[in-house]
Amino acid sequence: MSQSDKGKVKTTVEIYNRSYTIVGNEDDRHVREVAGRVDGTMRGIIENNPRLDTAKLAVLTAVNTMSDYIKLKKDYDELMSYIQKLEKEAGD
Amino acid sequence: MSQSDKGKVKTTVEIYNRSYTIVGNEDDRHVREVAGRVDGTMRGIIENNPRLDTAKLAVLTAVNTMSDYIKLKKDYDELMSYIQKLEKEAGD
């Protein structure tokens, strides 16, 4: 373990039949949840596109997830503005 | 274009030097934003791990993005509960 890995959590997970050791600040349970969902998304995409190679499949998995992230971020920001409005009204 | 693609948007983007045609309900601008961010994340990860093959790199990109998504979803759900509490208080 390198100097910079001190205090970090190392979790080994399997995604689409390959092993990955994830090093980070996230707990084991979070990393396993993430890995399970990436694996599930990959298997869902390959079912509809059986000729994809693994690299393209993984990129498309990242694309799907990023798309969901960006949409959720917009919803989150809207909620935040709405809360600020509610709090302002409550303060008036 | 197959029957099921009717009314769907087809956008061709480049991610990590490969071309992808994304078919879906999202507008062109959203797909380009998603592609740009996936490309950027891949390039950021490879900088720190130059020996990764493209498939592993793309899986790790999906892992990072999924991790961000899950964390944001928890924050989003907390905001939602908070709003419900504020609205209930305002209604009392």
Judging contacts by C-beta atoms under 8 Å, the chain A residues touching residue B4 are none
The pLDDT value recorded for residue B4 is 55
Comparing CA positions, the residue from A11, A14, A78 lying closest to residue B79 is: A78
Full DSSP string of B20-68: EEEEESS-HHHHHHHHHHHHHHHHHHHHH-TT--HHHHHHHHHHHHHHH
Contact A90 B87 (CB under 8 A): no
The pLDDT value recorded for residue A5 is 58
- By percentage, how much of chain B surpasses pLDDT 70? 93
Judge whether B23 and B5 are in contact, CB under 8 Å.
yes
The pLDDT value recorded for residue B2 is 47
Judge whether A19 and A39 are in contact, CB under 8 Å.
no
B88 lies in some domain: no
Decide: helix, strand or coil at residue B15.
strand
State pTM to two decimals: 0.87
B40 lies in some domain: yes
Cβ-Cβ pairs closer than 8 A, A with B, add up to 121
Q: What is the mean pLDDT of residues A35-47?
A: 98
Roughly how many angstroms between the first and final C-alpha of chain A, as a whole number?
Answer: 55
The pLDDT value recorded for residue A89 is 81
Judge whether A60 and A46 are in contact, CB under 8 Å.
no
Read off the pLDDT of residues A44-87 as tens digits, 9 standing for 90 and up.
Answer: 999 999 999 999 999 999 999 999 999 999 999 999 999 888 88
Question: For B55, how many CA atoms within 13 A lie in the half-sphere containing its CB?
Answer: 12
Mutate to test the interface with B, among A38, A43, A89 (most CBs of B within 10 A): A38
| ipTM score assigned to the predicted complex | 0.88
In this predicted structure, the answer to whether residue A90 has a pLDDT above a threshold of 90 is: no
Could you list the residue range(s) of the whole structural domain that residue B11 is in?
3-66
Read off the pLDDT of residues A15-30 as tens digits, 9 standing for 90 and up.
Answer: 999 999 999 899 999 9
The pLDDT value recorded for residue A22 is 93
Is B20 near chain A, with CB under 8 Å? yes
The pLDDT value recorded for residue B58 is 96
Q: Around Cβ B49, how many Cβ atoms within 10 Å?
A: 11
Q: What is the mean pLDDT of residues B70-90?
A: 91
B84 lies in some domain: no
B27 lies in some domain: yes
Beta bridge pairs of residue B19: B14
Decide: helix, strand or coil at residue A86.
helix
Read off the pLDDT of residues B23-38 as tens digits, 9 standing for 90 and up.
Answer: 989 999 999 999 999 9
Q: What total number of domains does chain A contain?
A: 1
